[in-house]
Amino acid sequence: MERQCLGWPEKKGMIMMNQDYQEELLHLESCLSVIQENIRLYEAREQASRKEVTALFQAVRKGEGDSYGQLVASQNILEHVQNTLRKNRSALHQPYFGRIVYDDLTYEASECCYIGKNGISKNQTDVIVVDWRAPVANVYYENSLGNGHYAVPGSSDVEIDLHQKRTYDISDGTLHGYYDDDIAANDDLLVKYLSQNKDAVLGDIIATIQKEQNTIIRDLPSKNIIVQGVAGSGKTTVALHRISYLLYNYEDLYKPSEFCIIGSSDMLLHYIRSGLPELDVHHIHEMRMDEIFPYLMEKAWKKQYQIVPDYPEAEIKSHLPFIRALDRFLAELTEEALNLSDITDPDLGVVLSLESMLEAKSYHPEDSLYQFEKHLNERILSRLKFLCTERSSDFKKAKRQAFRKYFDSSVHKWTVPGLYLAFLTELEEQDSSLDFSATKAGVSKGKTDVYDAAAFGLIYRRIFQKQDQDVFSQIFIDEAQDFGETVYYVLKQMLHDCYFTIMGDVSQNIRYETGMNDWEQLKEAMFDSPKDSFYLLLKSYRNTIEISRFAGQVLQRASQGGYQIDPVIRHGQPVSILQAEPSGLFYQLQETLRHVREKKFETIAVICRTPEEAAELKSGLGIPLEEDDNSFHNGVMVLPVSLTKGLEFDCVILWKPDEDHYQDHPKDAKLLYVAITRALHELYLLTDRPLTPLLLTSTGSESVLK
């Protein structure tokens, strides 16, 4: 269907002033009036609530009555009022971005819904703007004109006949135009949004969510999802919008504290954290991958344990065969420790049969050894009580004492590190080509890499765990390709009733030997239900066409042609390759920074190959070395490529992309691909030597400025 444009400038300074446009202006004015009244109302409520919280805080300090309980309740009310006030203030700039007009065939009613980033109500009851997360809002993102339906969590689908889908361009409370379309009509707004400069905050994509992104965001919570998304496809923002959607629509099932985001670095988590409040997401957990296993092991993770960079053997330990071998080792250990057979007594006969014990195992298949031993001991005591019904109290007491802790593996004095070292030694004995000497030496001193920590977690889960882990119900993992399948296999075992949303791009695996270069083994480790889904996001929304084409040549080498970029059509300036003599290269960097700063870019990155180079450049540029390297901020940042994962900048200056820094190998191609695709609008390459061979096929149509 051809797009019908309405209310857009016919020529500069002139607007089509038809009746429909006038009605839209009046509706916007009315809506803004309601929002302004809401703001006045909630500002007054916030002030009153603040006073109440302050008074109750003073009462708690004085120890007056039940003031603590009242304080907690008042703080929750204050937080709700502040959140509602924030939503209305935000809506004052753009109250809505879409409208749908339809007949509700299920409930026999005609409806007109305006859809916005925040749900807005008049008098707390009359909804004037529908929240984008509401079930009916999915019609705007998914449905074509005509008959269709939308899903309602926990209820039947609602059948509709869609008559109109309208997209608005509103900013600063002003209507710039709108148009009607049969499909999700936001291409023009998308390009406009992408062309803006990048602030140091992870932006939302609510007004421009694409259909393939929406499918992931609104998928069921009770399933595992893996998403392969090319650079700039919106993986991180899709994950955060999915969190927001699930918490909104399944608030009876989940609390925010049951959600956890796992990232590869503090900088990535800081960047992610910046985008949560605008999505109405609060009080969820965030942690690095190396922090999750100590967290889940609780007191079993001893204070003296320390996580260190990967040992040389991590290339073996990171992948599925290794961790499954450990699981088999623990299963054999458990079987030997239990040594199940009929338990008999000369006076009582069969106390507990093997059949009964196997039945107990079928009821508790996920029990650790310690948990299962506890169940069996409880069954023994229950059977003794029955078998000794008519016996004397002394006889009963003697039998209870004789069978007390019949199953008790604690007598072996096993430890988590001890069992792990025994396993590594057994592997070496089975295969003379294996040598875990570096790992064993480190573990003996309490120093583990992330894969040893995962192994510790599995040992704790299979042998020592005394209570089931229910701390998290939903885990979201970003930049997942940077870790091998071992960590995911163990997380799945430790959080058996948890569901995972895993986002990544194997073309950006910067830990080539230990990370994932395809998804097959991860799917094998994580997928255990036909409902589980693997999604592809192949369209890139980040880079200009010029940067995307430049990156595409490197991608061929990085992914061996696996996943190719399909860029949004947004043009910019050609990639600039600046060559200088070694003595003049730093001056060229200073001049380039001066040039791009004049363009008023919000975020600029100088990307180096190593942390040492980044530190040296920061010193030369006068950027304090003690400046917080874990926070993403406006201005100029000098970073090693490894810390830029998941981030994006208005302008990127790539420092020395020569063969010494990026060799012609898939490992270095992935690093270079990551560096290039961080740039939103402009990319500069600074070098004093010939470019890496990885770029030789990329430079033919690009400008070379000397």
CATH number at 48 reads 1.20.58
Separation between Cα atoms, residue 564 and residue 546, nearest integer Å: 15
In a domain, 209, yes or no: no
Residue 108 in tokens: 């026999």
Please answer whether residues 550 and 697 qualify as being in contact, where contact means their C-beta atoms are separated by less than 8 angstroms.
no
Least confident of 29-38, 444-453, 551-560: 551-560
- If one compares 646 and 321, the residue with the highest pLDDT of the two is 321
Residue range 521-537: mean pLDDT, rounded: 94
Q: Mean per-residue pLDDT for 152-160?
A: 93
Residues 271 and 403 in one domain: no
Q: Would you state the pLDDT for residue 203?
A: 54
Residue at a domain's end among 412, 440, 468: 412
Considering only 62-76, 430-444, 510-524, 607-621, which range has the smallest mean pLDDT? 62-76
Query: Which pLDDT value is given to residue 413?
Result: 96
Q: What is the pLDDT of residue 1?
A: 39
Q: What is the mean predicted confidence (pLDDT) over 98-119?
A: 94
Calculate what percentage of the chain has a pLDDT beyond 90. Answer: 72
Integer Cα distance of 505 and 480 in angstroms? 8
Residue 521, pLDDT above cutoff 60: yes
Using DSSP's 3-state secondary structure scheme, residue 590 falls into helix
| pLDDT number for residue 61 | 84
- Res 200: pLDDT: 46
What does the pLDDT read at residue 206?
A: 85
The answer on 447 and 594 residing in a single domain is no
User: For residue 668, what are its two tokens?
Assistant: 């270095």
Of 683, 705, 691, 684, nearest to 548 (Cα)?
A: 683
Predicted pLDDT at 639: 93
> What was the pLDDT predicted at 676?
94
> Does residue 51 belong to any structural domain of this protein?
yes
Residue 125 lies in a domain: no
- What mean pLDDT comes out for the span 80-97? 92
- Mark whether 521 and 614 lie in a shared domain: no
Claim to verify: residue 527 and residue 550 sit in the same structural domain: no
Same domain, 309 and 450: yes
Task: Give the CATH number for residue 583.
Answer: 3.40.50.300
Does 528 lie in the same domain as 503?
A: yes
Domain count for the chain, please give it: 4
Mean pLDDT score, 642-657: 92
Whether residues 347 and 448 fall in one domain: no
Total-model pTM: 0.87
Which residue, 540, 568, 602, sits at the end of a domain?
Answer: 540
Provide the domain limits for residue 35: 24-93
Checking if the pLDDT of 702 tops 70, the result is no
Residue 103 in domain = no
Is the pLDDT confidence value at 543 over 90? no
- pLDDT 10s digits, 36-72: 999 999 999 999 999 999 988 888 888 876 778 888 8
Predicted confidence band of residue 197 (pLDDT cuts 50, 70, 90): low
For residue 421, report the phi and psi dihedrals to the nearest 5 degrees: -65, -40
pLDDT score at 615: 92
Predicted pLDDT at 542: 84
pLDDT confidence of residue 523: 95
- Same domain for 294 and 435, yes or no, is yes
Task: Please check whether residues 345 and 389 belong to one and the same domain.
Answer: yes
Q: Is the pLDDT of residue 459 over 60?
A: yes
- Long-range (24+ apart) CB contacts under 8 A made by 71-78 are 74/49, 77/49, 78/46, 78/49, 78/50, 78/52, 78/53
316 belongs to a structural domain:
yes
CA angle at 679 for the pair 513 and 645, rounded to the nearest 5° = 30
Domain-terminating residue out of 510, 540, 570: 540
611 and 574 inside one domain: yes
Would residue 216 count as lying in a domain? Answer: no
- Within-domain flag for 99: no
Per residue in 239-248, pLDDT (tens digit) is 999 999 999 9
Let me know how long the chain is. Answer: 706
Give me the pLDDT at residue 185, please: 43
Lowest mean pLDDT segment, chosen from 62-71, 180-189, 417-426, 630-639: 180-189
* Model confidence pLDDT, tens digit, residues 355-375: 999 999 999 899 999 999 999
Is residue 584 located within the same domain as residue 677? Answer: yes
**What's the confidence (pLDDT) of residue 627?**
55
Residue 219 lies in a domain: no
475 and 513 part of one domain: yes
